[in-house]
């Protein structure tokens, strides 16, 4: 792993414990390394602000970034337009019915009525990933916005029920990881950069 942290990032990492500190160091170091290579500058010259527990930002003119991680992978996204990424292991175990009932829009839940347990788990996980990416794109809150975003796996866009927002979604599978990218750059003729580590 490259060690490309700013002094502030090193200080923040020192205040974290165990795996959280390692995860923070790894994500910020790799984000700096990937962006530095792309922009042709040294990692320490990337104007990144990414405190623990907050969405990372770049100075105006440098684009937008998003980070997601699991216990064994890291997903980084960059674009000239707002971007949100999310990553989960496809075999993640959780109570899909309870999660869907508590956090998902009624339109989404209606489409899953009668699905066998494993199919429901997979669909809820796909939706969760898509919606979390959309919320990161929106710069929203999981607690407030998760039930307000609606997306069908057959649609190219997710829609926010209250704010009239719409974002293009891409779903990718690499090995046992599922990823979602929320970004409208493709519709504007621009590209995004995504790195899975």
Q: Is the pLDDT of residue 107 over 80?
A: no
pLDDT at 188: 59
pLDDT at 105: 77
Over residues 158-181, the mean pLDDT reads 92
Q: Assess if residue 2 is contained within a domain.
A: yes
Does one domain contain both 89 and 179? yes
The sheet with strand 74-79 has its strands ordered as 64-69, 74-79, 192-196
Over residues 57-79, the mean pLDDT reads 94
Q: Which is it for strands 149-150 and 192-196: parallel, antiparallel or unpaired?
A: unpaired
pLDDT at 189: 62
Q: Assess if residue 108 is contained within a domain.
A: yes
How far is residue 193 from each of residues 9, 169, 197, measured CA to CA in Å?
23, 14, 13
Q: How many domains does the chain have?
A: 2
Q: Assess if residue 60 is contained within a domain.
A: no
pLDDT at 56: 94
Q: How many Cβ atoms from other residues are within 10 Å of residue 187's Cβ?
A: 12
Which residues constitute the domain of residue 158? Answer: 85-196
Q: Is 189 helix (H, G, I), strand (E, B) or coil?
A: coil
Q: Is 75 helix (H, G, I), strand (E, B) or coil?
A: strand
Whether the model clears a pTM of 0.75, i.e. scores above it, the answer is yes
Q: Is the pLDDT of residue 186 over 90?
A: no
């Amino acid at each position: 792993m490259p060690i490309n942290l700013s002094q502030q990032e090193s200080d923040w990492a020192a205040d974290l414990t165990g795996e959280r500190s390692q995860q923070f160091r790894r994500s910020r170091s790799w984000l700096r390394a990937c962006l530095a290579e792309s922009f042709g500058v040294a990692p320490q010259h990337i104007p990144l602000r990414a405190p623990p527990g907050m969405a990372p930002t770049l100075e105006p003119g440098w684009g937008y970034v998003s980070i997601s991680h699991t216990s064994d992978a890291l997903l980084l996204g960059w674009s000239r337009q707002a971007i949100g990424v999310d990553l989960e292991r496809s075999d993640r175990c959780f109570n899909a019915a309870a999660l869907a009932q508590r956090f998902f829009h009624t339109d989404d839940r209606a489409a899953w009525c009668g699905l066998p347990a494993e199919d429901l788990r997979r669909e809820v996980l796909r939706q969760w990933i898509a919606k979390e990416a959309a919320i990161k794109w929106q710069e929203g809150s999981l607690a407030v916005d998760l039930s307000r975003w609606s997306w069908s796996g057959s649609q190219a866009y997710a829609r926010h029920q209250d704010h009239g927002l719409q974002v293009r979604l891409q779903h990718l599978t690499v090995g046992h990881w599922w990823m979602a990218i929320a970004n409208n750059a493709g519709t504007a003729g621009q590209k995004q950069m995504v790195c899975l580590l």
